[in-house]
Structure 1
C-alpha cells in the first residue's frame, strides 16, 4: 500500500515538473451523457464557429474572417504579487492577430462575483478541480454586466443616444481585403457595398478571454512533495535500505525543483453568439440610426437578454522565473515579463484547442517560406499550415482558395517570446531556450507561394 502511495506522489511530481497542458472543453460533459451514440464517434454538426471552412470538395474554396477580441483579468487580492500581476497585464501589448474589441473594464474583483461550487452529495468533500474552476464566477460577471450587449453595441458604433451605424463593420470588413482587392471591389457600387456589409460576418467570431494569473514559489511545493515521500517510509524500520533509497531520491527531487518561481495563468474562452434569428430581432426591434432616434428602442437594447457569450473551455500555461533580485525595479520587470509570457502561452494553447479561435497570418517570405509567428504562438516542428490565396469573385465577394499545405521547420522556429529579465530565456519547465538567429519561422513544402498569402494552422 505504501509503495502505491509513493508511485502516486512521484506521478504528481512529474506532472508538476513537466508543465503538462491542461484543457477542458465545455461541451465534454454533454458528449458523455448523450444516449444512443457509439463510443468514440461524434455527430457531424456544421457550426458557424468562425473558422476557415471549405465550401466543398475539390479545390477547397474558403472564406476568411478576422476575429475580434476583448481581454480581461480576474483580481484576487489574496494572491502574492496580485497588484503587480494586474499592472503587468494592463500594460501588456494587445494580441496583434486580433481586432481590438475592448469594451468596458479590463478586470473585476473575484470576491464580488465568486460562485462557490455546488455542495457534493452524501457529505463528500468538494473536488479540488471544482474549487479551482472559476468559470461560474466569470459567467456571473459577464451576465451581470451585460458584456455581450456591450460587444454588440461596439460593433454597431452605438452613440450616447443609443443610435447605431455601420462604420466599424464597414471599416473592419474593408480591412480584411488588401488595398488592391478593395479597389477592384470598389469599381462597382454593389461591390463596394458588399465589402462593407461583409463585415457582419465578423460579429460571430468575437471572443472574450478572461485570465487568472497566480505567482507561485516553487520551494513550498517541492518541500510538500518531499515531506509526503518521507511520510510513506516513516515507519519502515525493518527496511532501512528501502527507506534510505526513497529519502535520498526525495532529497534529489527537492533540490532539483525548489528554486525559482512560476506565473501560472488560466484563461477562460468565450464566443459571442450571433445567429440569423438574433440579427433579425436586432434589426427589426432594436435598430435605430441618427436619422430617427428612438428612446424606446434605446431602452429595449439596454435591458435585452438577446445576446450571450458561450463558454468554450479553458487552458493553463506557466512561465518559469529562475530567481528574483533584491532590487524592486528588477523584480517588477521580471514578473511583468513572466506574466506576459504566461498569457501569450495560454493564448497559443487556446488556439490549438479551439479551431474557432485560431488566427491567420501572412507569408512574409517565399524563399525561404516564412511567417512572423514563433514560440510565442506555441509553434512546434512539424505543425501543419494551409496556404490560402485571396481572390474576388464576379459579385465582389472575397474568397480564399487553398493552394497547399506546409510544415514548420523544427530547426528554424522564430523565438519571439517576451524576454524575462536580462538573463537567458527559459521555457515553461525552466530549461534554457537556445537562439537560432532567425527573424521569422521557416516552413517546408510546396512551390509557387508568394508574400501576402495567408497561413492558417490545421493541426
Structure 2
C-alpha cells in the first residue's frame, strides 16, 4: 500500500557499510560521498587568508558532493590536539551533522518533513565513474539494479575536517609578503605584456633563484581528520519504520519521531593524516590568491590520497576508459589521485549474484606505464607540467586478462 515503504524494505536488505573481500570477490563497493569543512583559528598567522581561500577549493571530483551549509568550525583559543578533537566532536554533535547527512541523502523537505529516494537513485546510476551511464550498463543487468545499489552508498559517506596552519620556515612573515608583492608586480607585467603571452609567463616562471626561494617560503601544514557515517541494518530499519514518509503520506508522528532521534545517527572516527605542502612552482601564478589556492588545493588533494592509501574503506574506483589494440588501458586518473610509477591496481568485473546483489570479481592487475602518467593536479596545465596534456594515464597488464571497457580498477597497497 505504501509504495516507498515497500521500496525501503527491499533496499534495506542490500545495505552494506563496507567493501569486503570474500574468496576474491569485492562486494558492494561504490562511489563515496564526501562532506568537508575546515577549522578556523583566528589567533593563528594568516588564518583569514587561508580560510577565505579554502572556501574556493573545488570539491574532489571523484566523490559525490555531500557538503552541508556548515563549512567552518571556529576554535576557542589555541587548543591542544586532544582539546581540538573534543571541540570537533562537540561541533558534530551540537549541529546534528550525522542526521543532517541522512536528511540530505533522502532529500528531506523542511516544510513538511517528508523524504524521497531521488538522490539515492541518481547516485546509484552515477556509480563511481566519470563516464556516462552506458559504460556502467555494460557490466550490470539493467538500470533497476543500479538504482537499487544506490542505497549501498549511504554507508560510504565520509566527513573530512581540515586543520590548516601556515608554516613560517624563517620564523618571520616578511618573506611571504615579499612573494605576494613580487607576484603582484608580475601580474601587472603580464597584463600589460604584448606579443606571445606564453613566452612572457615562461620567462616569469624562470626569473631566478630569488623568487623561487620566496615562493618556497610559503608553506602550509594540514591535518585531515576522517569520519564515517554509521549506517547499518538496525539504523536503516528504525529510520524506515519510525521516521520515513513521503509527500503522499504526511505523518506528524513520524516527523516528531525523527526530530527526537538525532542520537540514532552518528559519525565514527576513522583516523587522520597530516603533511606539509611541497614546493610551489611559480609558472602560471600571477597574484596572491592564486598562490594560496594552488598550495592549499594540492596539499588537500595529497592528504585525501594518503587517507585513501591508509584506510581501506576510503579507497575509490575508476572505470577503464578504453583499451588500445596492443592491450594498453587508458584510465582517467593521474597524479591528483596519487598514481605513481610504483602503483599497482586490481581490475574488477561487476556482476549480479543469484539474489540480485552487485558483486565484483578480480580479473587481474595492472600498473601505470612510466612516463605516461597524467599530471592532472590543480593548475598543472598553467605551470606547463610534463604530462598535463595527456588526458588519461596509460596502464599495462601485470596479470590476468580479457579486460574490457567499463571494468573498474582499485588501487592495491
TM-score bracket for the superposition, by shorter chain length: 0.7 to 0.9
1:334–1:420: 8 Å Cα contact kept in structure 2? Answer: no
1:270–1:311: 8 Å Cα contact kept in structure 2? Answer: yes
Q: Secondary structure at the match of 1:411?
A: coil
2:31–2:153: 8 Å Cα contact kept in structure 1? Answer: yes
2: CA distance, partners of 1:309 / 1:391: 31
The equivalences for 1:224-239 within 5 A come to none
* Aligned match of 2:33: 68
2: CA distance, partners of 1:436 / 1:420: 6
2: CA distance, partners of 1:150 / 1:80: 32
1:267-297 deviation line (CA, Å, top 9, x unaligned): 1100000111111211222122222222232
Q: CA deviation at 1:136?
A: 2.1
Does 2:244 align with 1:283?
no
Q: CA deviation at 1:329?
A: 6.2
* Aligned match of 2:412: 458
The unaligned stretches of length 5 or more in structure 1 are 1-47, 118-129, 222-255, 426-433
1:82-127 deviation line (CA, Å, top 9, x unaligned): 223223222222111111111221222122xx7955xxxxxxxxxx
1:228-271 deviation line (CA, Å, top 9, x unaligned): xxxxxxxxxxxxxxxxxxxxxxxxxxxx9995121221111000
Q: Aligned match of 2:396 in 436, 444, 450? A: 444
Q: Secondary structure at the match of 2:365?
A: strand
Q: How large is the Cα RMSD of the aligned pairs?
A: 3.3
Q: Secondary structure at the match of 2:250?
A: coil
Q: CA deviation at 1:356?
A: 0.7
* Aligned match of 1:414: 374
Does 2:293 align with 1:343?
no
CA, structure 1 residues 61+109, in 2 after alignment: closer, same or farther (shift >3 Å)?
A: closer
Q: CA deviation at 1:164?
A: 1.4
Q: CA deviation at 1:50?
A: 2.6
Q: CA deviation at 1:181?
A: 6.1
The unaligned stretches of length 5 or more in structure 2 are 1-15, 173-212
Q: Secondary structure at the match of 2:55?
A: helix
The equivalences for 1:351-390 within 5 A come to 351-367=308-324, 368-390=328-350
1: CA distance, partners of 2:78 / 2:152: 34
The equivalences for 1:114-129 within 5 A come to none
* Aligned match of 1:79: 44
* Aligned match of 2:276: 318
Q: CA deviation at 1:405?
A: 1.1
1:163–1:290: 8 Å Cα contact kept in structure 2? Answer: yes
* Aligned match of 1:158: 108
Q: Aligned match of 1:101 in 38, 62, 66? A: 66
CA, structure 1 residues 275+436, in 2 after alignment: closer, same or farther (shift >3 Å)?
A: closer
Q: Secondary structure at the match of 1:103?
A: coil
* Aligned match of 2:12: none
* Aligned match of 2:184: none
Q: Aligned match of 2:361 in 367, 391, 401? A: 401
The equivalences for 1:171-182 within 5 A come to 171-176=122-127, 178-179=133-134
1:190-243 deviation line (CA, Å, top 9, x unaligned): x83x5433322111110011112122222129xxxxxxxxxxxxxxxxxxxxxx
Q: Aligned match of 1:50 in 18, 41, 46? A: 18
1:371–1:441: 8 Å Cα contact kept in structure 2? Answer: yes
Q: CA deviation at 1:321?
A: 4.7
2: CA distance, partners of 1:390 / 1:136: 41
CA, structure 1 residues 303+146, in 2 after alignment: closer, same or farther (shift >3 Å)?
A: same
2:135–2:405: 8 Å Cα contact kept in structure 1? Answer: no
Q: CA deviation at 1:369?
A: 2.0
Give the structure with higher Rg (CA): 1
Q: Secondary structure at the match of 2:171?
A: helix
TM-score by length of 1: 0.68
Does 2:103 align with 1:135?
no
2: CA distance, partners of 1:78 / 1:390: 51
Does 2:166 align with 1:206?
no
2:41–2:78: 8 Å Cα contact kept in structure 1? Answer: no
2:242–2:254: 8 Å Cα contact kept in structure 1? Answer: yes
CA, structure 1 residues 76+158, in 2 after alignment: closer, same or farther (shift >3 Å)?
A: same
CA, structure 1 residues 283+86, in 2 after alignment: closer, same or farther (shift >3 Å)?
A: same
1:425-456 deviation line (CA, Å, top 9, x unaligned): 7xxxxxxxx65864422323244322321111
Q: Secondary structure at the match of 1:300?
A: helix
CA, structure 1 residues 279+258, in 2 after alignment: closer, same or farther (shift >3 Å)?
A: closer
2: CA distance, partners of 1:420 / 1:406: 25
1:333–1:421: 8 Å Cα contact kept in structure 2? Answer: no
TM-score by length of 2: 0.75
Q: CA deviation at 1:62?
A: 3.7
CA, structure 1 residues 258+335, in 2 after alignment: closer, same or farther (shift >3 Å)?
A: closer
1:363-414 deviation line (CA, Å, top 9, x unaligned): 2232322322222122222222110122345655433221111123343322
Q: CA deviation at 1:336?
A: 1.0
